[in-house]
Amino acid sequence: MTGQTAQNRTILKKLLLVSVLMFGFGYALIPFYKKLCDVTGISKDKITVSNTQMDPARWVTVEFDANLGAKLPWIFEPQTTSLRIHPGEIKQVLYRVVNLTDRTIVGQAIPSYGPALAGAYFKKIACFCFTQQTLKPHEERLMPVQFVVQNDLPKDVHTITLSYTFYEQAKAGAT
């Protein structure tokens, strides 16, 4: 019986080790995926502007949208809600942001695009979303986005929606 128990314990230890390793494997997936995306070039983070010749024959409507992440007590709105542009044309719009609280808050805006595939052709030259924004109590600010839509944008895309969501940066904030 004791021989049996020892054998059982051996399997128990091995399987527990596997469980712990698999727990670690879950965490290892995160750097693994990041590396995979870098190597295969799936990431869309890199900004490479190419073929910026303006195409005057074509019109694209760009719509601007603004959202606030959970519980962020700010006002955040585009000054221009929509714009008709030619692909290849460099344009700038302003967003207004107001901190409604009595504390300093650090925020980070995250862009997204509709349709999602347009993101690859929408190149931002300057953007408040490139860095964190620190707003003092009741500070109001206008923030620019300078962009160009590449003229190899697929022909069936007539409208692009650029949507920003501001999130509070918990660690850097005053809280």
Residues forming the site for another protein (CB under 8 A): 1-2, 4-5, 7-8, 11-12, 15-16, 18-27, 29-30, 33, 40, 42, 69-70, 108, 110, 116, 165, 167-171
Q: Which is nearer to another protein, 12 or 100 (CB)?
A: 12
Q: Which is nearer to another protein, 19 or 82 (CB)?
A: 19
Q: How is residue 126 written in tokens? A: 């300057």
The strands making up 159-168's β-sheet, listed across from edge to edge, are 82-85, 60-68, 159-168, 105-114, 133-135
Q: How far is the CB of 114 from another protein (least distance, A)?
A: 13
Q: How far is the CB of 160 from another protein (least distance, A)?
A: 16
Q: Which is nearer to another protein, 29 or 142 (CB)?
A: 29
Among residues 97, 49, 44, the alpha carbon closest in space to that of 74 is found at 97
Q: How far is the CB of 16 from another protein (least distance, A)?
A: 7
| Spatial separation of the C-alpha atoms in residues 89 and 78, rounded to whole Å | 20
| Spatial separation of the C-alpha atoms in residues 133 and 106, rounded to whole Å | 6
Q: Is there a cis peptide before residue 115, judged by omega within 30 degrees of 0?
A: yes
Q: Which is nearer to another protein, 134 or 169 (CB)?
A: 169
Q: Which is nearer to another protein, 29 or 49 (CB)?
A: 29
| Spatial separation of the C-alpha atoms in residues 113 and 150, rounded to whole Å | 14
Q: How far is the CB of 111 from another protein (least distance, A)?
A: 10
Q: Strand 90-99 to strand 133-135: parallel, antiparallel, or no bridges (unpaired)?
A: unpaired
Q: How far is the CB of 20 from another protein (least distance, A)?
A: 7
| Spatial separation of the C-alpha atoms in residues 175 and 97, rounded to whole Å | 20
